[in-house]
Chain A
């Protein structure tokens, strides 16, 4: 009598995607797994709180012109969203590679037809999507709300640079946070340790800047604070007067150097085998 269902090994006869798309699989799985966590959904809601408050202010500004938005409103919005970026980067990013390293998953990933760059791209995409959801998306929606509530394009016409400024500033903010966190995550097998390291580096460099500022009396040393470099460059992007005496080009160089160093760390650490000599 033949079995009802053959449970022995059978060959696969369907089609396979060509190599090069595995990063989308990694990104999709990572995004869906993160969205299943209620804590994260709570954080995402908190990340949109400022948008709601600003939208209400925009509504009120119809009657009270002194509350009407300016270009710097959007600069302030992104500045304040920095806290949400920080929280989500730590919550989502710390374990992205560290957990894979703890579970020896890298040799599973890299034994499949995908390159190391695809693995990194997939992991980066997870952070990129979530950070964009609390920076670029609400900022652009806020602009849309302004247009809808005011009933005219007058603000946009006067401040057309705001759209590319929002895009460039958000992308810079998101890329810097994603790449640095991913690099840190590749250095350890403990997500908790990575989170502590990230927070420590940010606060330590900020504290060093504070001490140097107190000693020298000038903010020209703001480049030592990783977070303040971003603020400095974002001021320039939004055509605002830079808040520190450091030339914005120096801050930009520090940011680019951080990204390059992070990518270099990722290139060295994401391997199928760890060679200890």
Chain B
């Protein structure tokens, strides 16, 4: 399975259903720095991971979609509405969990979340009721009368999720939601995110540089690198079918054997000193093709086992790492 890579012309893969977010040739420039370069991307319904190393342009993309940053070129739509034309209608239907610590000073948690609900248009009584509900949902029920400024890092992450949820958005933007959380808190946060996307019908975009977080919660992924889309699509498709990837160790000329496998149409990655990860495309056959190539080349296969492709492979391939 080939990953759709870098070129803006080929980066877009049509989604099966109408995308919740769509970017067409979007460019954002900060001074002399091109944070987004002619980006075209589609985010399908459900949970979509926005992956990329630091500085790849993930947060800039979210901020452009929120209307915080005006693109220099291109068009964006969220939930079928044009970002430039209907920013308020869009923001009424989406929730944003920022990456950095953010709260309204001088408020306890329940007042803060209720206040955010009112800002989103909820009547005061409903906002207060929803605030209690979402605070219980995110696990802050017992701490809801504490001033937010006294919260730990993990609690601050949870309250940012609560304020994003209080008005029952159709779409959530989560910017690094597990930053600074301990392992238990991180697992709980990921469970919440997964639950929202898979059981509560809330579409979400999870921006993260942590591959396991995205792999656990998301069905689709958009990989960003240096302000461009490096790959996008359903994670299952990008990872390729199970059983067609193999870990391989041989005795013989490693470099020459890699060339032979590559010539046979296989995709080969050297993962460490002597272990190869080999992707066998459907037209090349199965593991027997590897044995046949080894036999022809005169190499001895010492180890061969099916490898489950990971998002890490997708990420590495998209970013051109060998």
> Could you tell me if B136 and A7 are in contact, using CB atoms closer than 8 angstroms?
yes
Could you tell me the distance in whole angstroms from the C-beta of B321 to the nearest C-beta in chain A? Answer: 30
> Which residue of B101, B104, B141 is within 8 Å of A7 (Cβ)?
B141
Could you tell me the distance in whole angstroms from the C-beta of A102 to the nearest C-beta in chain B? Answer: 7
Residue B33 interfacial (CB < 8 Å): yes
- Binding-face segment, A82-90, A103-111, A178-186: A103-111
> Which residue of B31, B95, B103, B122 is within 8 Å of A14 (Cβ)?
B122
- Chain B residues touching A, range: 35 or more
What is A's interface to B at a CB cutoff of 8 Å? Answer: 7-12, 14-19, 21-22, 25-26, 29, 33, 95, 99-100, 102-105, 107-115, 271-273, 275, 277
CA distance A10 to B202 in the complex (A): 11
Could you tell me the distance in whole angstroms from the C-beta of B135 to the nearest C-beta in chain A? Answer: 10
Residue B163 interfacial (CB < 8 Å): yes
CA distance A9 to B31 in the complex (A): 42
> Could you tell me if B102 and A26 are in contact, using CB atoms closer than 8 angstroms?
no
CA distance A271 to B68 in the complex (A): 7
- Binding-face segment, B45-53, B85-93, B234-242: B85-93
Closest residue on chain A to residue B202 by CB atoms: A9
Could you tell me the distance in whole angstroms from the C-beta of A94 to the nearest C-beta in chain B? Answer: 13
A-B contact pairs, 29 of them (CB 8 A): A7-B133, A7-B136, A7-B137, A9-B133, A9-B134, A9-B196, A11-B168, A12-B126, A15-B123, A17-B121, A17-B123, A19-B89, A104-B98, A104-B101, A104-B102, A105-B103, A107-B96, A108-B104, A108-B163, A110-B67, A110-B68, A111-B91, A111-B94, A112-B119, A114-B88, A114-B91, A271-B68, A275-B30, A277-B30
Residue B182 interfacial (CB < 8 Å): no
> Could you tell me if A16 and B92 are in contact, using CB atoms closer than 8 angstroms?
yes
> Could you tell me if B120 and A113 are in contact, using CB atoms closer than 8 angstroms?
yes
CA distance A271 to B70 in the complex (A): 11
> Could you tell me if B68 and A22 are in contact, using CB atoms closer than 8 angstroms?
no
Residue B106 interfacial (CB < 8 Å): yes
Supposing A29-B115, A277-B30 touch, asked if A272 and B105 sit within 8 A by C-beta, the answer is no
Residues on A with beta carbons closer than 8 Å to the beta carbon of B123: 14-15, 17
